[in-house]
Amino acid sequence: MTMTEDTTKVVGRSQYDYVLLFLTFTLIGLGLLMIYSASAVVADDRFTSDFYFLRRQLGFLALGLLVMGVCQKIDYHVLRKLVYPILIGSLCLVALSYIPGFRSVASGAARWVKIGFIRFQPSEFAKLAIIIFMAYSLAKKGDRVRSFGVGVLPHLVVGGVVVLAVLGQKDLGGALVIASLIGILMFVGGVKPSYLISLFLLSLPVLYFAVASQSYRRKRILAFLDPWSDRYGSGFQIIQSLVSFQQGGVFGKGLGAGQQKLFYLPEAHTDFIGAVIGEELGLVGVILMVLLFVGFCCRGFQIAWNAPDLFGRYLALGLTSFVAIQAIGNLGVVMGMFPSKGMVLPFISYGGSALVVFMAAVGILLNVSKYKGSAPCMS
């Protein structure tokens, strides 16, 4: 079955999905708690204040709440009219990272843009923009997406430009997230599986070249396959992460009692905050965190299912998949199941750009949840 062109009108309104909101704030609360626990010693050593990273995250959260509130109040159908300005604007922000004077380099990667005192990661906004574009395009085309020229080619061109722009920032993780979102939405939108399989197979040489052309990526793959072969080099971070989980056991050492964050585990408050949770809160804490994410995704997919039109359905599905992919990707890395890709844990890791974008996603999901109508036509 495929969905026909999006012509369904909204016929009613209900309350926002407060369960989704509760799960979001619970994850954020856990994040604030663990950011302080993971960063206090490092912050005191570098900035003479153990609250340095926590204060900054609270500032990011204040901005995120403002953005979420705006997105929650604005009818999500307005995004259909703004889809191209949003997409072009996000690409312009990514382009700034290539321009000296705006580009900000950290850890050898030019993934950040600095304008005055503001520093942000534009690829995070590109992820949100591509979801909005895909939702708009698939809803507009309806069952015509089964044609290669309508359902594949335009999305391949637009998505390819965004993926290559992000990949040029040496952000392979971000590029993979965007490519995954495009693939998921195309599949749900009714694109023929044979086309998607062909695109996947054709993308493998590109992925191989992206990894093989950069020595640090090759080292990450080797560290993933055998971290002990370079235990004090490329394998050090993942080994320390695994030690964190081992030390935590079932019930953990207790909040604040972890040892790996004391200059053993790099990026303890950002990409590898899941390892700190594993050490201090144990297997029980990790399972409870995963259940929060599962609950969030279940509510998000329910919002997508109950959306009154195809645009709302694809939009909610894409935003929920965004959170799910990032959570699975991050936890997979810290547990040694995936190679390291520099991917944050939604709502929990330290970082302003990601938190603001995730809060915007929640705001849009809440707005979609407010509307009721007949289900999209099926054929």
Closest CA to 126 of 175, 185, 81: 175
Kindly report, residue by residue over 223-279, the tens digit of the pLDDT: 888 888 888 888 889 999 999 999 999 999 999 999 998 888 888 999 999 999 999
Q: Give the per-residue pLDDT at 213.
A: 85
pLDDT at 12 over 90: no
Give φ, ψ of 118 to 5 degrees: -95, 130
Q: Give the per-residue pLDDT at 378.
A: 34
Instruction: For helices 172-189 and 153-167, give the axis angle rounded to 10 degrees.
Output: 170
**In the chain, what percentage of residues exceed pLDDT 70?**
93
162 to each of 149, 214, 364, how far by Cα in Å?
Answer: 19, 20, 22
- List Cβ neighbours of 38 (8 Å cut-off, separation of 6 or more): 258, 261, 268, 269, 273, 276
Closest CA to 227 of 329, 336, 335, 330: 336
Query: Rounded to whole angstroms, how far apart are CA atoms 140 and 154?
Result: 13
Count the neighbouring beta carbons within 10 Å of the beta carbon of residue 252.
21
Query: Rounded to whole angstroms, how far apart are CA atoms 227 and 236?
Result: 7
Q: pLDDT: is 210 or 295 the higher one? A: 295
CA 358 to chain centre: 7
Cα angle, residue 362 at apex, residues 301 and 285 outer, rounded to 5°:
80
**In the chain, what percentage of residues exceed pLDDT 90?**
70
Kindly report, residue by residue over 329-364, the tens digit of the pLDDT: 999 999 999 998 878 999 999 999 999 999 999 999
Strand pairing partners for 345? Answer: none
SS (HEC) of 223-246 = HHHCHHHHCCCCCHHHHHHHHHHH
Q: pLDDT: is 92 or 9 the higher one? A: 92
Q: Give the per-residue pLDDT at 162.
A: 95
Count the neighbouring beta carbons within 10 Å of the beta carbon of residue 241.
29
Query: Rounded to whole angstroms, how far apart are CA atoms 175 and 181?
Result: 10
Q: Give the per-residue pLDDT at 223.
A: 86
Q: Give the per-residue pLDDT at 109.
A: 65
197 to each of 36, 160, 201, 321, how far by Cα in Å?
Answer: 44, 16, 6, 20
Kindly report, residue by residue over 95-117, the tens digit of the pLDDT: 998 888 888 776 666 678 888 88
Query: What's the pTM value of the predicted model, to 2 decimals?
Result: 0.93
Q: Give the per-residue pLDDT at 100.
A: 85
Kindly report, residue by residue over 42-80, the tens digit of the pLDDT: 999 889 899 999 999 999 999 999 999 999 999 999 999
**Which residue stretches of 190-214 are H helix?**
193-212
Give φ, ψ of 10 to 5 degrees: -70, 130
Strand pairing partners for 13? Answer: 371
The conformation of residue 272, written as its DSSP 8-state character, comes to: T
Listing DSSP states for 74-92 in one string gives S-TTHHHHHHHHHHHHHHH
- List Cβ neighbours of 288 (8 Å cut-off, separation of 6 or more): 281
Count the neighbouring beta carbons within 10 Å of the beta carbon of residue 41.
14
Kindly report, residue by residue over 291-318, the tens digit of the pLDDT: 999 999 999 999 999 999 999 999 999 9
**349 neighbors 57 (Cβ within 8 angstroms):** no
Distance separating the N- and C-terminal Cα atoms of the chain: 6
